[in-house]
């Protein structure tokens, strides 16, 4: 394995104490699918620059723009990326895509953030017979039930998230490993699917699922769930809330003086706004955002160098959604190269048949657009000292970290 720089030896597990925890506080139209008739590869996409997911919009844009520049370098044709703000709203997203494809010879569509917005964009692309790539979209059921032909998700799915959760738990020495698992299930299709995977995968591995309760997306009161978790002696808390819901839940856990020994908020703990809103209260939280600083190979070093140069930052830790969206652009580039064409059908054939090397790993796609089962290891990141860093799987990057467990009581932070 080629490391992104200065490899260091690391352990897979580090017991935390009040002393180490304190360190964290320092911190022609394309309708009908013919594709464009010119030599320009035209890509349409939306990002949530306003609305409930706006904290992710800039990161998605930066990853897409870095990828567009890379595509322009390597393809023997012009590349045009048209991005618009979808306002975190599915109807606005559809209107934007309608306008962009009506006024431009679009060859491909790139997705937004969250299952809500990505499935809306996918449905539009399927109707227009245009290749669609979407990340931040772990929900598997649409791939299986909506007869996808043009939608591809270069992103870990619910089954991969559950397997990664199990792998993270196995970093803890068996004698110290927690057993009592609680699941907070958002009242949504993906909420149910992810909860099912967690319950089945961890249950089969011998973990005791002591709590599984639903809550409404948009809820601002988690006190009942916190009380139920405390009464059930939950040691490992798993959920996939919205970013705002996840931040609210942590604040209310602190107010109620309760926390589990391990906490994983998929999607909820993804944005950089997590730390700016919570500070040290957000430390230890795990997430599964598709890409995390600490991953190596397949362009990770180039991505980091380009990001630091383009955005004039010396930060060692890129926002996770920059890496996730850049990974999508690598798939797009390799698909067009393999197709030798920008025709929609040729790109679709390449997406179905090729193997892709990206900053999140090496994988191919099933016919329904899911990453081939077993190809991807969903990287789990952990918030520590103001940054999201790779906790699982192990790499030799200095931007990974030893998994911090257990979460100490609030009084010891």
Q: Which two tokens stand for residue 354?
A: 């090729």
Residues 104 and 184 in one domain: no
In a domain, 6, yes or no: no
* Geometric angle at alpha carbon 146, from 144 and 150, rounded to 5°: 95
Residues 264 and 388 in one domain: yes
Q: Which two tokens stand for residue 346?
A: 């040729």
Task: Return the pLDDT at 38.
Answer: 72
Task: Return the pLDDT at 314.
Answer: 78
Task: Return the pLDDT at 23.
Answer: 29
In a domain, 7, yes or no: no
Residues 260 and 398 in one domain: yes
In a domain, 373, yes or no: no
In 3D space, the residue among 260, 107, 258, 95 whose CA is nearest the CA of residue 178 turns out to be 260
pLDDT digit string (tens) for the chain, length 413 residues: 323 333 332 223 333 333 333 323 323 333 333 344 479 999 999 999 999 999 899 999 999 999 999 999 999 899 999 999 999 999 999 999 999 999 999 999 999 999 999 999 999 999 999 999 999 999 999 999 998 999 999 999 999 999 999 999 999 999 999 999 999 999 999 999 999 999 999 999 999 999 999 999 989 999 999 999 999 999 999 999 999 999 999 999 999 999 999 999 999 999 999 999 999 999 999 999 999 999 999 999 999 999 999 998 878 899 999 999 999 999 999 999 999 999 999 999 999 999 999 999 999 999 999 999 999 999 999 999 999 999 999 999 999 999 999 999 999 99
In a domain, 3, yes or no: no
Residues 80 and 217 in one domain: no
45 contacts 83 by C-beta, under 8 angstroms: yes
Task: Return the pLDDT at 316.
Answer: 86
In a domain, 8, yes or no: no
Q: Which two tokens stand for residue 87?
A: 């306002």
Taking every pair of C-alpha atoms in the chain, what is the biggest distance, in angstroms? 65
Residues 165 and 103 in one domain: no
The rounded distance, in Å, linking the Cα atoms of 169 and 406 is: 11
Residues 145 and 238 in one domain: no
Q: Is the bond preceding 335 in cis, omega lying within 30 degrees of 0?
A: no
Residue 96: CB partners within 8 Å, gap ≥ 6?
46, 84, 85, 86
18 contacts 284 by C-beta, under 8 angstroms: no
pLDDT in tens, 63-120: 999 999 999 999 989 999 999 999 999 999 999 999 999 999 999 999 999 999 999 9
Residues 105 and 152 in one domain: yes
Task: Return the pLDDT at 7.
Answer: 31
Residues 46 and 135 in one domain: yes
The rounded distance, in Å, linking the Cα atoms of 258 and 286 is: 17
| DSSP letter for each residue of 123-143 | HHHHHHT--EE--S----HHH
Q: Pairing mode, if any, of strands 403-405 and 13-15? A: parallel
Task: Return the pLDDT at 12.
Answer: 33
Task: Return the pLDDT at 313.
Answer: 84
In angstroms, what is the C-alpha Rg of the chain? 21
Task: Return the pLDDT at 27.
Answer: 30
* Domain enclosing residue 81, as ranges: 41-156+295-363
In a domain, 5, yes or no: no
Helices H / strands E in the chain, number of each: 13, 16
Residues 408 and 268 in one domain: yes
Residues 143 and 48 in one domain: yes
Q: Which residues pair with 337 in a beta bridge?
A: none
Task: Return the pLDDT at 209.
Answer: 98
Task: Return the pLDDT at 5.
Answer: 37
Task: Return the pLDDT at 111.
Answer: 98
Residue 132: CB partners within 8 Å, gap ≥ 6?
108, 109, 110, 111, 121, 122, 125, 126, 150, 151, 152
Q: What is the CATH number of the domain that holds 358?
A: 3.40.50.2300
Residues 84 and 73 in one domain: yes
Q: What are the backbone angles phi and psi of residue 25, rounded to the nearest 5°?
A: -75, -5
Residue 45: CB partners within 8 Å, gap ≥ 6?
64, 81, 82, 83, 84, 109, 110, 111, 112, 121
* Geometric angle at alpha carbon 64, from 52 and 351, rounded to 5°: 110
* Geometric angle at alpha carbon 408, from 406 and 409, rounded to 5°: 140
Q: What are the backbone angles phi and psi of residue 50, rounded to the nearest 5°?
A: -135, 170
The rounded distance, in Å, linking the Cα atoms of 166 and 162 is: 6
- Number of compact structural domains in the chain: 2
Residue 244: CB partners within 8 Å, gap ≥ 6?
52
Task: Return the pLDDT at 213.
Answer: 98
- H or E, element range at 103: helix 90-103
In a domain, 371, yes or no: no
Q: Which two tokens stand for residue 311?
A: 């955005």
In a domain, 257, yes or no: yes
Residues 238 and 171 in one domain: yes
């Amino acid at each position: 394995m080629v490391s992104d720089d200065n490899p260091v030896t690391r352990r897979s597990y580090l017991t935390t104490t009040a002393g180490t925890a304190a360190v964290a506080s320092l911190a022609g139209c394309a309708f009908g699918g013919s594709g464009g008739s010119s030599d320009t590869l035209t890509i349409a996409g939306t990002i949530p620059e306003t609305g409930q997911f706006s904290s992710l919009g800039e990161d998605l844009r930066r990853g897409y723009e870095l990828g567009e520049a890379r595509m322009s370098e390597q393809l023997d044709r012009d590349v045009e990326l048209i991005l618009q703000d979808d306002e975190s709203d599915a109807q606005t997203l559809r209107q934007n895509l309608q306008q962009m494809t009506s006024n431009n010879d679009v060859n491909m569509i790139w997705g937004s953030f969250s299952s809500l917005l990505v499935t809306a964009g996918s449905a539009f692309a399927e109707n227009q017979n245009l290749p669609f790539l979407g990340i931040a979209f772990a929900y598997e059921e649409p791939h299986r039930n909506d007869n996808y032909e043009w939608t591809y998700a270069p992103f870990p799915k619910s089954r991969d998230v559950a397997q990664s959760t199990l792998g993270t738990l196995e970093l803890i020495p068996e004698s110290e490993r927690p057993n009592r698992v609680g699941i907070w299930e958002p009242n949504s299709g993906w909420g149910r699917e992810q909860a099912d995977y967690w319950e089945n995968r961890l249950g089969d591995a011998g973990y005791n699922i002591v709590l599984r309760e639903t809550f409404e997306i948009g809820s601002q009161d988690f006190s009942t769930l916190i009380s139920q978790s405390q009464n059930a002696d939950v040691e490992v808390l798993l959920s996939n809330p919205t970013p705002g819901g996840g931040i609210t839940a942590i604040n209310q856990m602190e107010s109620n003086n309760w926390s589990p020994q391990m906490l994983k908020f998929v999607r909820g703990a993804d944005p950089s706004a997590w730390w700016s809103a919570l500070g040290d209260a957000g430390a230890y939280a795990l997430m599964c955002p598709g890409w995390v600083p600490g991953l190596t190979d397949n362009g990770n070093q180039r991505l980091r160098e380009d990001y630091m140069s383009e955005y004039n930052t010396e930060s060692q830790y890129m926002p996770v959604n920059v890496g996730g969206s850049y990974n999508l652009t690598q798939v797009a580039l390799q698909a067009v190269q393999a197709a030798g064409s920008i025709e929609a059908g040729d790109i679709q054939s390449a997406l179905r048949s090729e193997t892709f090397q990206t900053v999140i790993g090496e994988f191919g796609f099933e016919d329904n657009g899911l990453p081939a089962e077993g190809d991807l290891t969903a990287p789990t990141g952990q918030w520590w000292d103001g940054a999201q860093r790779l906790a699982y799987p192990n790499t030799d990057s200095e931007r990974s970290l030893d998994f911090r467990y257990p979460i100490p009581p609030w009084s010891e932070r």
